[in-house]
Amino acid sequence: MTEPDRDHSPTASPAPSRPGTTIELERVTKVYGAGALAVQALSPISVTLAPGQAVSVVGPSGCGKSTLMRLIAGLEAPSSGTIRVGGRPVAGPLEDLGIVFQRDLLLDWRDVLGNVLLPAEIKGLAPAAARRRAAGLLAELGVERFAGHYPWQLSGGMRQRVAIARALLPSPTLMFLDEPFSALDAMTRDQMNVLLQQVQSAEHVTTLLITHSILEAVFVADRVLVMSGRPGTLLDDIAVDFPRPRRLSLRETPEFSAIVRRIREQFVRTGDLVG
Ligand SMILES: Nc1ncnc2c1ncn2[C@@H]1O[C@H](COP(=O)(O)OP(=O)(O)OP(=O)(O)O)[C@@H](O)[C@H]1O
Ligand SMILES: [Mg+2]
């Protein structure tokens, strides 16, 4: 039996024309530990991300990509500098944010629909509207036929589609993804890249994608931030303005290759990649 929508509940329907949220970092640093054991994870980073932008962060292992994401998400505090989201200093975990990790963290005892609806239960969203939203997202992500399946019955790529649907259920203005496709085979990963940029456009969500893959970073993004090895800082900031929707054949164009080459050359110069 479905419960009626309550008028006073927050709604779970997308709002494509909303103004979005600006993310501003001003001389942000992060040091873990103290004294001889101190690890400087990030040296000063200043950058502003525009509302609705799809931003990729690419950099060598251990350069502080996940740290940067956790700081913006309000899961950890910077050692110095300020982070503002929507004009307000970040003082704790952001509410208006969906996060997707490399491990999908789906609950094995809930079916796909039950997993996608989890944020609705936590946030107390109107159940009928949440179910409509969930059905729409599962269709958008191409897994509507699996609503009644359990996570252990799905492939890795399908599980990540469900994880993305769950992150988007409350229609957050921000979505952060930390190496969401790293455990997938190359073909599935390519497919997920196409899907992610479709969903990003459809949902008008400001996206921060952390990845080791230069191809992936460029394919899905409006902008690529290139980070140096530890302590991580910004080496480059590249606008990627290929029209959307994008097809995989874009990766074979000289324009695309030029951006990939520019990023590779940065890593060769810093010694993070053998040329
Ligand atoms: N909680 C922590 N305590 C101590 N050191 C940490 C902590 N988290 C990260 N670090 C250190 O900070 C540096 C940056 O880590 P981070 O996980 O942000 O890198 P990353 O770029 O995401 O790496 P990878 O690509 O391997 O995921 C690393 O040297 C790491 O060991
Ligand atoms: Mg990481």
pLDDT tens readout for residues 251-270: 999 999 999 999 999 999 98
Cα–Cα distance for residue pair 109/234, rounded to 1 Å: 42
- Cβ of residue 67 lying under 6 Å from some atom of ligand 1: yes
Q: What pLDDT does 17 receive?
A: 44
Res. 172: pLDDT tops 60: yes
Res. 176: pLDDT tops 80: yes
For residue 146, the one-letter residue type is F
- Cβ of residue 150 lying under 6 Å from some atom of ligand 1: no
Which residue has the least CA distance to atom 6 on ligand 1?
32
- Cβ of residue 37 lying under 6 Å from some atom of ligand 1: no
Domain assignments of the chain as residue spans, ordered by start = 50-76+89-96+174-275, 106-171
What values do phi and psi take at 220, rounded to 5? -90, -10
pLDDT tens readout for residues 69-87: 999 999 999 999 999 999 9
Measured in Å, residue 67 CA sits from the centre of ligand 2 at: 7
Among 3.40.630.30, 3.40.50.300, 3.40.190.10, 3.30.70.100, name the CATH number for the domain at 50-76+89-96+174-275.
3.40.50.300
Q: What pLDDT does 7 receive?
A: 41
Atom number, ligand 1, closest to the C-alpha of residue 33: 4
Q: What pLDDT does 270 receive?
A: 87
Give me the residues paired with residue 2 across strands.
none
- Closest ligand to C-alpha of residue 31 is 1
Torsion of CA 8, 168, 135, 116, to 10 degrees: -90
Of 5-19, 78-92, 96-110, which range is least confident?
A: 5-19
Cα–Cα distance for residue pair 150/108, rounded to 1 Å: 6
- Cβ of residue 231 lying under 6 Å from some atom of ligand 1: no
Q: What pLDDT does 19 receive?
A: 56
- Cβ of residue 213 lying under 6 Å from some atom of ligand 1: no
